[in-house]
Chains A and B, each alone.
Chain A
């Protein structure tokens, strides 16, 4: 069963003197978050699940947008009878702070100037994204989330929720993610940022009147897509197949893989803001909950964890998930871990539906059943 038509809502906060205080020390306000909800909040408000998106995601996680016909980015996972079962749970998805899909980001108007923020937008972190979401969760009247879940940067947000508000999450499902960005992950992000900033159309970020640095952003996305696949999935998908019957002996896209990357890049510039790409990748690079930062030395948390990784994911390799699990077990935290066999690479968290559905559904059931008595309503 699918959700059918869904609407995106917005929530505005941090107005006037109550501006959002950021990790950098700067303040930001007012702030708008775009969000969607699926299912019904129960009387005890104990069945809410926050689903967190990756780098280029948005609030449209499931169902169909009536105007565009667009299907949510995790639609196979969210809906009646699915992993995040909307017959039982109330699922919330929001676009991150710094994004360009309805939430406040560098492309939003700066109230001080009336023009887009561009590089006037303060540098944000994953913790700042969670701080903004916390306002949304308060607004929705939810004291404690049944679960925070997401893949890649969504997984970082899930971990950050535990670090920032341990008493407000009953469980977390970080998928294909890490406790800290590695030099390799930072390096790929930096290549993407350099591609954008090297495009003359970037104009130091001040391009909103003239059009965005399409070439640069497309190249950044092409690099990204390579890191989301695996050697094997690329071989299966493209091999050395040609777009036409023969080599052209020119620099047009002869190979299907070239055509695919160009298509993906060109598509991306139509739906994503280049400055948002800079800000969000930087937030990921700053992410570091290693050491005791996930749970402070004397802290104790009662959240349960389901940690998932994928065998062929070389961008967020399984060893990084194993580090999360080792840390959790050292702090007596209830954790389940599975490295799912998959050839899809990092993209697997969007594609390996059956395995994730089985694990997530049972994990959530157990979490929901073991809530303190009186909380299930």
Chain B
């Protein structure tokens, strides 16, 4: 596998997923991550994706994918059918985050949530000094064409987990090429959290 050219977040997620795990990728895009997990981890992967053209690309890779809007929920998936449910760069695009997370923990044991960090220093400086909505590498869109409905920081997500009794099992704060250890909410451009409900999964 040409790991060097793969996106850092994919590599991080591939390290998290254990061999042979059952994985649901919500907002799986062209299926690159699923393809990686299937090949490197022998994971049993399934995807859900809204974009029709992405469905064609997934099918060309031999992946199983369902064309659906995440805002419709995950009806039909049996309780606890997956070891991991991946929400990489997709949670910030859905309307009903709380419903989706509830559904996520109904169908899966753990969630892997990846999102662009709005607290990154570049974003902060663009707002503070230029007075403009940030356009950065991890937030590449303008206010008028962004699919992101929500803008959150690493600190926001940690606080949300505390309020919602979600246990953070591990977290990875990433800059362009490596993980960030010092002041992640300031220096990381994206973050990946592995979370699970503290009191066990609802069924």
Contacts and interface: CB of A to CB of B under 8 A. Distances in A.
A123 interface: no
Interface residues of A, number: 26
Interface residues of B, number: 19
Contact of A365 (B62, B75, B78): B62
Nearest to A326: B76
Contact of A339 (B46, B52, B62, B77): B52
A353 to B, nearest CB: 14
A146 to B, nearest CB: 15
B75 A326 contact: yes
A371 interface: no
A338 B76 contact: no
A363 interface: yes
Contacts of B68: 322, 337
A355 interface: yes
A336 B58 CA distance: 10
B77 A336 contact: no
A302 interface: no
A329 interface: yes
B59 interface: yes
- Tell me if A's interface is mostly helix, strand, loop or mixed: helix
B67 interface: yes
Nearest to A330: B76
B66 A366 contact: no
B67 A330 contact: no
Contacts of B76: 325-330
A313 to B, nearest CB: 14
Given A336-B66, A339-B67, A330 B56 contact: no
Interface in B153-186: none
Interface of B: 46, 52, 55-56, 58-60, 62-68, 75-78, 81
- The 8 A-B pairs of least Cβ separation, nearest first, read A326-B76, A366-B62, A329-B76, A337-B66, A338-B67, A338-B55, A330-B76, A362-B59
Interface of A: 304, 306, 322, 325-330, 332, 334-341, 355, 358-359, 362-363, 365-366, 369
